[in-house]
């Protein structure tokens, strides 16, 4: 009889222990769900902000490219400016792919160039990237920072060449 009472008391004590343990776990779970909701809202806001930034960068880059194309008629670097056009026209697509996974710059850029012209990617690499050590370093980083820096460097490079050719023409 004593053994039966001890076993009953042990089961009651274990039941009380597991009840309070389950309550503690349930409260922790409730807090984690609340935190998850906050994190998801924050993630959504950050994603929207990054998409807006990428879109704004693309617009600015396209405007700068268009200025180079319209003001650069019959200039020696015009052919190179036309070669970077697919890179800038697909800025958001490449930007988003680079954000998703490191090392996607080369693959996504190749897809964008191939959609426009089958040999454009090789021309871009051989005539623009391989001819400039700084551009080559940015290209080889194969990530989002390298992509943003590469586009900026290309636009600055050709804008500088445009200004130099204009100043040479004025001097002549």
Neighbouring residues of 111: CB distance < 8 A, sequence distance ≥ 6: none
Cα–Cα distances in angstroms (integers) from residue 166 to residues 14, 19, 43, in the given order: 88, 82, 47
Which string of DSSP letters, residue by residue, matches the chain? -HHHHHHHHHHHHHHHHHHHHHHHHHHHHHHHHHHHHHHHHHHHHHHHHHHHHHHHHHHHHHHHHHHHHHH-TT-TTHHHHHHTHHHHHTHHHHHHHHHHSTT-HHHHHHHHHHHH-TTHHHHHIIIIITT-HHHHHHHHH-SHHHHHHHHHHHHHHHHHHHHHHHHHHHH-
With cut-offs at 50, 70 and 90, classify the pLDDT of residue 165: confident
User: What percent of the chain clears pLDDT 70, i.e. is strictly above it?
Assistant: 94
pTM value?
0.76
Q: What is the CA radius of gyration of the chain?
A: 30
Read off the pLDDT of residues 18-37 as tens digits, 9 standing for 90 and up.
999 999 999 999 999 999 99
Q: Give CA–CA dist 42/35, Å, rounded.
A: 10
Read off the pLDDT of residues 111-134 as tens digits, 9 standing for 90 and up.
998 888 878 899 899 988 998 899
- Please count the structural domains in the chain: 1
Question: What is the overall mean pLDDT for the chain?
Answer: 89
Expressed as residue numbers, the domain containing 63 is: 2-171
Cβ neighbours around 155 below 10 Å, total: 19
Q: Give CA–CA dist 19/91, Å, rounded.
A: 57
């Amino acid at each position: 009889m004593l053994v039966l009472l001890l076993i009953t008391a042990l089961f009651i004590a274990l039941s009380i222990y597991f009840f309070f343990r389950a309550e503690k776990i349930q409260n922790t779970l409730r807090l984690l769900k609340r935190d998850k909701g906050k994190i998801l809202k924050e993630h959504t806001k950050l994603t929207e902000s990054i998409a807006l930034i990428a879109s704004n960068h693309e617009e600015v880059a396209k405007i700068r490219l268009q200025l180079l194309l319209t003001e650069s008629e019959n200039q020696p670097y015009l052919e190179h400016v036309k070669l970077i056009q697919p890179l800038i026209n697909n800025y958001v697509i490449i930007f988003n792919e680079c954000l998703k996974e490191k090392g996607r710059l080369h693959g996504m850029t190749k897809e964008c160039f191939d959609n426009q012209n089958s040999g454009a990617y090789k021309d871009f690499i051989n005539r623009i990237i391989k001819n400039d050590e700084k551009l080559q370093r940015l290209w080889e980083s194969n990530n989002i920072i390298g992509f943003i820096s590469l586009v900026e460097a290309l636009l600055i490079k050709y804008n500088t060449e445009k200004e130099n050719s204009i100043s040479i023409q004025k001097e002549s």
